[in-house]
Chains A and B, each alone.
Chain A
């Protein structure tokens, strides 16, 4: 059993598990932090961005002029942003049988895998995962395609040149694998390969293993997966949450008794408690708006935004903000808000029960009804007519490199009255802000990550007790910035096995058993013999029949009848020979009694030596050795078959036959 690790990002995993002749890809996350090295794509012509100075090498060589621009001491690639793909060379991805998706954030690389690697298998995911995943991809493609950029920079990627660049471009890894965004056509084709599954549904893969999605409590439709055969169980835990937010709670009990638990997608901000962060978010939002400033919240169109809107729904009246407009701008804003209301069966119990009243499960419906929350596909069109300040704007993309957020950063960045509040934990806010410097607006970092923290992980591991834990290497040591925080790492026994990008891990357990069925008539013919109290043995002669990874013992064919005629003869030729079986022996030989027996039978000058495995009985006169070990006995004599047979019979006297 092997695990191929194709992604180094702990929360955007992409691993391939080879287990019992199946090849299963676990998630295919897309690392978008690479886009931070690029200049933002402005929706409206930005003189500031277009007038940024070009960057040239120290020796004055200016051939990179067109590709690199400088802003406040940082160098950016002036090109269409590119994404860091999972490893494609480590394993032949056309051999992947199935892809299991755990949540919509972890499927963003799917088109790259299904459309460009010869993949012919099936993708399994829950319905909300697919629908919201589609929205995220649609938004991404829309953000990038609506700002066409003629130029595509590639010179800087040359290894010799990259070495000469300033950080962080110099240190960017795997730049050769970076790719531009996929197209909507590729997205549709990729999504067409998905088969929808429900929680606890058992899916047979070639009769060899069974996979089951379980609720992971992190997002709408998010799942953990169990991959099991008859005697082995591997749990894949990715992006789980024990907090009570909108999704169905996490199913922990089904993870029990795993041989291996692959643990990914823990919180990226282990030191921040989501409750505290929501408090910070609300306080800072209120402070800004009360001072007449605007608040910008760069976010994804689904996920935490539902919880934030719910908190604000409860908070705005108390904070006297009822008159402040909230805008949600995304090409998929409308679909996202509406989808969230229809996935009732995937929601937590509280929200589910609202549906029966009937009431919309999320209160943002009421915010929209009362005109407190308005949503628009983009800043163009209706929005510009309705726009009122001060206001709160939720919009993407959290990397601040593309999407409507770029426009608001340019618009509001100059005033210290305004505030940008970062709530998504996926991008470093300082790096995200780098191309907007100098910036007068206030920046607040309130990352809200509801995924498991290390305290919860240690409780979970105590509860489910897997034999082995496998996780990204980042989880086996404290974060580099807080090296003293020994509490911010996985602590379990035996210590967790760690992996990093492009590593192949032999999982630390061996398969010892295979389930084989016995046909009833064959079972009927068996005659067990009790050799020890409670232990019975029987010999079985049968034909092992294997098909679709299922093994069946069938009765052996009857001995062939002597027949005439060619046809029949051919049939008998196919039947394996069934030789008469030698009896099986069991029992042990007590050395002292054996020596006495030998003496009785006329052997003298017997010498016994103890060895590590048993005894050697030496018949010096006959120049013969009898090696007695736990599971074998050897008689070594020189060409004296008579003597050997005599000795053999003496040995057999001590053993049982059946």
Chain B
């Protein structure tokens, strides 16, 4: 699929614009062109004081973060809040939808992060009343209950807020008396709210005491087994967080959690983890491992070392079980430990355990661990060798199975590790496919890393990838019975084919002996030729082929292609030719994209040009300009446009096609004018821009006529990307007419551009003839913001360039005030279709000068929904939904 572009990116014209309809506009006179030098943003506050702690997230004693932008509760919101709380508390009112509550929580989170929650609660007593009300209602709706729990957590995150709420409120909400015992507890969102509330709350020692005093931990332990995965995961995260928090508070690092020196919370959590690790139930082990992974991944205090010392024997005991329980979580844990800076490379414990795990786990589970270890710089060499062996094992197995002679295997010779489990795994199709795809993906990830093992077995890996492709295509002829099984399993397997092609593409970064390269080319050609290759496989094969083809010779056209490459190319072109005729549009599209990229690299190469012109490919590509599928037409436009740019377009064309009589340019303009889909039109504007930039012969004949025609067509296009690309074309023309912007820079290197200061009036006349200013000014009012921004940038650069060259004086004296006034009036009244008429260069300059382009740019930079995203708007929406207050903000 092509990426889709949102062509409905509406830009709401800023209401604060001085020139928006209905608002007073500044008068412009020729003698004093008005230009607003400073733009005042509506609603912008007074200048902020810069806090040195800003951005570093330091927490002040009152818990607020310094230096963040002021988002504190504004008076308007404070006024709306009591009404909102009343709505929320009212059982007769429908509870606002979940997303509103989520937004509300986000807002409170922001407010408390930047200010004191104590003050917030004191200033807005309705909030505490709401919480009390929810607490006091026996059958509060689940959504509201969950909201209240999370809200209380947010307020209690600061110690001052916590103290304010402590007492009946917090213990009522989170303790035994709260929702725990109510029917609402069966609703997962309530349990989730409870855990999340506690997670927010647990930020300070008082919260820890609260947790310990109210027996909350037991509930959290049980929630780890919650049927809702979200609740279970949040519970594990909470335990890890509480453990870390309680250990932060404990000064110094006691030797072991069991010694009694660790805080109660920590001791209890560690005890629970120990118990779970000894459990025979795999889910419990998984939860324990997850808590440990989170803790060791995030906390790097010395106490984590003591914790690991305490728990690692239990973890090691898991490896003795058959099968090893919770293998994925175990891998995560070991990688977390290995990455932790607390353990130095001298600590052999974690490495020993990783080595044991590698040998105990099946290849599918051990793969990610192996890759993770190989990525670590300080991993011991023996372990790296073992890990790489694990990764290579499946490929070694494939090579061994398909080799005619056993000694030809070549991968993993003499490396430790048995291939027996791989052999057995390869017997089941899904396991085999999964393992091979995973292995290829992991090796693909490893290949470009600097810490990849050395020597890198490039040749054997190439052999393995090629063999896999052959097995998938049914072309391999294995001698062994294992090979036969592999053949049966992999024949026609698209997943492995795609993975192998991706991997093969990655391997192109390394060199290989000519023999291997020839094999790669043969395998790629086989894929490209095979009628059974699916469109996705073909696309991957094209991509891999591009990566394997050598880059363009430097300098171009100085040396011929290597005989191997030329031979490959000669075989490739007929395949490409056939693919361009495929009934499947995805294939035609991929083939055209491939052609575009291929010719981009090699268009200047004489052998390539000869081979391409001798084939049917350029002619077929041109025929695809009429394809019924818009994506294909777009790709054909790009391909043909590029080929034509390099002089690779055949002279003769089919006379049936509209516009063909006028040559390719006529055909492209026909598409731009008539095509019902956006993609081909976008491609045409891009190609035409490129042609203008490169001085294509068809364009150079009459550049002004060309630009005028294109701009005229493009300005009426409904697709904003086409209009934006039109502006790009206008920019190129501008540069070519006026010279590079800022060309006066003494350090700029470039060819001298034709225009000299004395030629300015002529250049401006040229701009006038192609109606460039008309086009840009219309685009400035475009309803799609990117177009308006681009137009604004274009006009700004034009004005700057003109100013640099001396402005009005150079343009030929003072403009006719009436003409300027008329032009601006026409434009202001929004007559976008009305051309300004041909303006004298001086008038053009005056018009530009009269406009507040910087102000425009500033307003365009603002998001169009900034008003609707404000907290005030949120509160108003919620109230409106409840019918309390007519919402005037969103009536547009």
Contacts and interface: CB of A to CB of B under 8 A. Distances in A.
Contacts of A446: 531
A279 B488 contact: no
A319 B579 CA distance: 12
B620 A279 contact: no
Contacts of B656: 320, 323
B675 to A, nearest CB: 15
Given A276-B532, A290-B623, A318 B583 contact: yes
Contacts of B488: 486-487, 491
Contact of B581 (A276, A283, A311, A491): A283
8 contacts: A272-B532, A277-B531, A280-B578, A290-B616, A290-B619, A290-B620, A319-B583, A455-B492
Contacts of B626: 320
B583 A279 contact: yes
A290 B626 CA distance: 14
A317 interface: yes
Interface in B473-506: 474, 476-479, 483-485, 487-488, 491-492
A273 B532 contact: yes
B487 A276 contact: no
A311 B583 contact: yes
B582 interface: yes
B583 A320 contact: no
Nearest to B484: A486
B531 A486 contact: no
A615 B318 CA distance: 57
Contacts of B854: none
A290 B532 CA distance: 24
A276 B582 contact: no
Q: How large is the interface on B (under 10, 10 to 19, 20 to 34, 35 or more residues)?
A: 35 or more
Contacts of A314: 583
A179 interface: no
A601 interface: no
A318 to B, nearest CB: 5
Contacts of A487: 474, 487-488, 491
B55 interface: no
Contacts of B578: 280, 283-284, 287
A323 B654 CA distance: 13
Interface in B573-593: 577-579, 581-585, 587
B579 to A, nearest CB: 7
Contact of B583 (A271, A272, A283, A291): A283
B510 interface: no
A612 B762 CA distance: 122
Contacts of B474: 271, 482, 485, 487
Contacts of A486: 484-485, 487-488
B849 interface: no
Interface residues of A, number: 31
Given A272-B531, A284-B578, A485 B487 contact: yes
A279 B531 contact: yes
A319 B581 contact: yes
A535 to B, nearest CB: 44
Given A283-B581, A311-B583, A318-B583, A273 B531 contact: yes
Interface in A397-450: 446
Interface string A251-289: 000000000000000000001110011111011101100
B531 to A, nearest CB: 3
Nearest to B533: A276
A315 interface: yes
Interface of A: 271-273, 276-280, 282-284, 286-287, 290-291, 311, 314-315, 317-320, 323, 446, 455, 482, 484-487, 491
A291 B478 CA distance: 42
Contacts of B533: 276
Contacts of A291: 616
Given A291-B616, A314-B583, 9 more contacts: A273-B492, A279-B582, A282-B581, A287-B616, A290-B616, A315-B583, A320-B654, A486-B487, A486-B488
What are the 9 closest A-B residue pairs judged by CB atoms, nearest first?
A276-B531, A487-B488, A283-B581, A486-B484, A286-B581, A282-B583, A276-B532, A280-B531, A484-B477
Nearest to B535: A279
- In this complex, the member of A271, A280, A283, A314 whose beta carbon has the largest number of chain B beta carbons within 10 angstroms is A283
B654 to A, nearest CB: 7
Given A284-B578, A318-B627, A487-B488, A276 B583 contact: no
A273 B530 CA distance: 10
A278 B533 CA distance: 13
B531 A282 contact: no
Contacts of A491: 488
A247 to B, nearest CB: 22
A320 B533 CA distance: 24
Contacts of A279: 531, 582-584, 587
B551 interface: no
A291 B479 CA distance: 45
A317 B632 CA distance: 14
B45 interface: no
Given A273-B532, A446-B531, A287 B581 contact: yes
Nearest to A322: B656
Contacts of A286: 581
Nearest to A284: B578
Nearest to A316: B583
A183 to B, nearest CB: 41
B423 interface: no
Contacts of A280: 531, 578
Contacts of A320: 623, 626, 654, 656
A491 B629 CA distance: 43
A282 B577 CA distance: 13
A315 B582 CA distance: 9
B628 interface: yes
B577 A287 contact: yes
A286 B584 CA distance: 13
B616 A283 contact: no
Contacts of A272: 531-532
Interface string B506-536: 0000000000000000000000001111000
Contacts of B479: 484
Interface string B36-50: 000000000000000
- In this complex, the member of B478, B488, B654 whose beta carbon has the largest number of chain A beta carbons within 10 angstroms is B488
Contacts of B581: 282-284, 286-287, 290, 319
Contacts of A484: 476-479, 483-484, 487
Contacts of B531: 272-273, 276-277, 279-280, 446
A280 B477 CA distance: 25
A162 B582 CA distance: 47
Contacts of A278: 583
A129 B485 CA distance: 40
Contacts of A318: 583, 585, 627-629
Contact of B530 (A276, A311, A485): A276
A445 to B, nearest CB: 10
Contacts of A317: 628
Contacts of A287: 577-578, 581, 616
Nearest to A315: B583
A291 to B, nearest CB: 7
Nearest to B627: A318
Nearest to B478: A484
A430 B639 CA distance: 39
Contacts of A290: 581, 616, 619-620, 623
Contacts of A485: 474, 487, 491
Contacts of B616: 287, 290-291
A283 B620 contact: no
A320 B625 CA distance: 10
Nearest to B473: A271
A283 B616 CA distance: 13
A282 B582 contact: yes
A280 B476 CA distance: 23
Contacts of B477: 484
A319 B632 CA distance: 12
